[in-house]
Structure 1
Amino acid sequence: MRFTITSTSLFTVATCALLSSARPTQNKRALFGSDTANGMSDVLFGDEDCKDVAVIFARGTFDSGNIGVWVGPQFQAALQSQINSLAFEGVDSTAYPATLQTYLGEGGSDGGAQSLASTVTDYVNFCPDSSVVISGWSQGALVAHKGLSLLTPEVQAKVVGLVTFGDPNKLFTNEPVPSNVAFKTECIGGTTLDPLCSDIPADFKFPTSLDDITGPFSQLPHFATGVAETAAAASLVLRFPGQLLASRSAFLDALTDKTKMQRLLLTPEHFTYGNNGLTSDAADFVAALPAVVGK
C-alpha cells in the first residue's frame, strides 16, 4: 500500500481534518500546573534528603512540562498514596522535546534516553541506598527502554522496576528488559484497543487515507478529563499537522508497510491511561516490589 502525497497537501489535509475541534488556548501556567516534577533534582541539588524510592518518568509525544498531563501526574499521585519516601522526576524537557519527529525518526528520543540515563546515574551515585524505577508512556516508554539500556551494570543494578503505558517498543527495536529488572506494561486491549501496544486482530481495518489517520484526533477533546487535559487536547489538535509536516519523511516511510503503519495509529484510547485505573494498577506493582515494600 502506498500513498502519493506532497508535503503541502499533507499539511492541508491534516489541518482541515483537525482544526474543527480545536479550542482557544490559555495561559500555560494556569492549565498545566501539575505537568512538572523534579523530585530527584531536588535531592541532587540538596533541597531534599535522599528518598528510598526514586521514579523517573518520560512523558508521551506532544505532552507538556516534563511529566505531561495525561499519565505522569496520575501515576505520581498513585505512587505517593502508597510510598512515603518517594522522589518523582520527569525526563528533562529540553533534552527530550517529545516531538513526532523523535518518535518516528528516532524510535524514541535519543536525547531523552541519554538524559534519563544521566539523571538515574547521578541519583544512584548520590543516593546509593535508593531503589530506582524507570517509567514512560507512549514515546516515553521507548525513551524508558532506551535509557535503561544505556546504564552501566553497576547503576542498572539499582533499577528495580520498569513500568510502561501504551508501550510501542515491539513496533520499533523491541529493546529487551534486563532479567534483574521487574517489568510491568499497561496496555488497553479488547474491542477499543490501543493499537500502539496491542496485538492487532486479523480483521483490523488499517487506514487507507490520511483522514483515517488524522480523523481520530478530532475526538480527543471528548476523551479529556479536567481543565489541563481539555486544554492539552485542544493544543494537540492544533499542533499535530505541523509536527506531521516536520516529520514527513519518517511519516511517509511508515506508510509503506503495515508494521510501520501501526506506529501511526494514535487513537484517543491511547490518552486514557491516566483516567482508567491503570496508573493505580501500576503503582500497586511498584509498591509490591521487594525493594520498595514498606518504604
Structure 2
Amino acid sequence: MCATLKYAALYGFVVSLPLALASPILATAIINRQDAAVSANDWDPILIGEKNAQCSDLAVIFARGTFDKGNLGPWVGGPFRDALLKKSSDVKIAVQGVSPDDYPADLAGYTEEGGSDSCARGLGTAVQTYASRCPDSKIAIWGWSQGALCAHKAFGELGDAASNVIALGVFGDPISAWRDTVDYPAIPKGTALLSYCETLTPDPLCTNPAEDFPRGPVAFIERLKAIWREVDAVGMNAAQKKALAGLLIELPSQAMRQLDNLATDILNGHIRRWMLTPQHFWYGIDGKVETAADDLLSLYRGQR
C-alpha cells in the first residue's frame, strides 16, 4: 500500500478515536444503527413486534468476521447486502446483522471457542423469532470468517425454525481448520450449503496455504503485521480503508493477548487457524459477493 493511502487510513482512524472514547454509548449507536456501510437492521420491526411490520419474501441474517464493526462489517457483509439488493427487484429482501450485543467479533471468540458461542445463540434466537412471526418467509443464514463458524453453530440453536432456512452461505469458511476440535452441528438436508473460498491467490483459512510462516508466536504475529503493512488499498471502498486502519492496530494487539493459544496451536499443527492474510478479506472486492447473491436468489426463485 502506498504511503499516502496508509497515512490517510490511519489518520481517519485516529481522528475518530476521541469521539468513541468521549462518548462510547453514542459512538456505538452511530456504528451499529446508522452507518449503512457496516450495518443492516431490516429485521428489527419483526423482532421487536412492531405493529403492521411487513414480512419479507427472503430474510437474510449475516454474521460478520473478527474485528468487523457494526453488525455486518465493511469487508464482506456490507458489499454482500448491496449485491443482494441490486439483484432482487422481484424479491422482497430483509437483511440483518447479528447484534454486537450478542457477538463482539473479537479474536478471543475465534481462538478460544472456534467461533463465538454467544453469536450462535443470538443468531438462532433471531431466526426463531422471525420464523415464528413470518412463517411463510424463507430464511438464509450467512457468515464470513469467524462469522461462518458462528453460522454453522447456529444450526444447533434453531429449533423448529430450521425448516424455514433454505441456505447456509459462507465466505472464507475456516471450518476445515477447526473440525478436529469442535463439533459443529450438521446442516439439515433441506438447507443448501453455498460456500465461497478465494483459491487463485489462496485464502489460507479455507485452503492449504503454501506460504511458510514462522513457528514462534511472536515472530508469526510480526510476519502478519509485515504482510498487512504492504497491502494495496486501491481496490477498497471508503469503509474498507477505514477498517484497514483499525485492523493494523487490532490484529497485532489482540493476537498478542492470545500468545498462549497461538503457541499451543502452532505446537498442535493448527497454525492455519491464525493466517488472517489479506486474501481472507477480499470477498467483498473480488466479485464473490455478486456470485453469492446470484446463487442465493436463484435458489430462492427455484423454491417459489
The TM-score with structure 2 as length reference comes to: 0.82
Query: Hey, what's the Cα distance between the residues in 2 that align with 1:117 and 1:253?
Result: 31
1:109-150 CA-to-partner distances (Å, cap 9, x unmatched) read: 000010000000000001000000000000000000001232
Query: Hey, what's the Cα distance between the residues in 2 that align with 1:265 and 1:248?
Result: 14
Q: Does 1:169 align with 2:175?
A: yes
1:9-40 CA-to-partner distances (Å, cap 9, x unmatched) read: xxxxxxxxxx9997121447599542111111
Q: Name the SS for the 2:43 alignment partner.
A: helix
State the partner residue of 1:123: 130
Higher relative helix content: 2
Percent identity at matched positions? 34
Equivalent of 1:284 in 264, 289, 294: 294
Higher relative contact order, chain-length normalized (CA < 8 Å, sep 6+) = 1
Q: Name the SS for the 1:71 alignment partner.
A: helix
- Give the letter for the 1:134 counterpart: I
- Give the letter for the 1:268 counterpart: P
Structure 2: gaps spanning 5 or more residues: 1-5, 17-26
| Cα contact 1:217–1:237 (8 A) shared by 2 | yes
Deviation at 1:177, TM superposition (A): 2.3
CA gap of 1:32–1:207, structure 2 versus 1, over 3 A, is: farther
State the partner residue of 1:15: none
| Runs of 4+ deviating beyond 4 Å | 19-22, 28-33
Equivalent of 1:75 in 80, 86, 89: 80
Equivalent of 1:213 in 224, 228, 231: 224
Deviation at 1:247, TM superposition (A): 2.4
Q: Does 1:262 align with 2:272?
A: yes
Query: Hey, what's the Cα distance between the residues in 1 that align with 2:108 and 2:153?
Result: 16
Equivalent of 1:188 in 183, 186, 198: 198
| Cα contact 2:64–2:72 (8 A) shared by 1 | yes
Query: 5 Å matches for 1:126-165?
Result: 126-152=133-159, 154-165=160-171
Task: Compute the RMSD of aligned alpha carbons.
Answer: 2.4
1:42-88 CA-to-partner distances (Å, cap 9, x unmatched) read: 23332740001100000000000000000111111111123331110
More deviation, 211-220/226-235: 211-220
Deviation at 1:269, TM superposition (A): 1.0
State the partner residue of 2:10: 23
The TM-score with structure 1 as length reference comes to: 0.84
Number of residue-to-residue matches in the alignment: 271
Deviation at 1:224, TM superposition (A): 5.6
CA gap of 1:66–1:221, structure 2 versus 1, over 3 A, is: farther
Q: Does 1:229 align with 2:234?
A: no
State the partner residue of 2:263: 252
Structure 1: gaps spanning 5 or more residues: 1-18
1:177-207 CA-to-partner distances (Å, cap 9, x unmatched) read: 22221011100102x2000001345xx4243
| Cα contact 1:105–1:247 (8 A) shared by 2 | no
State the partner residue of 1:54: 59
| Cα contact 1:57–1:89 (8 A) shared by 2 | yes
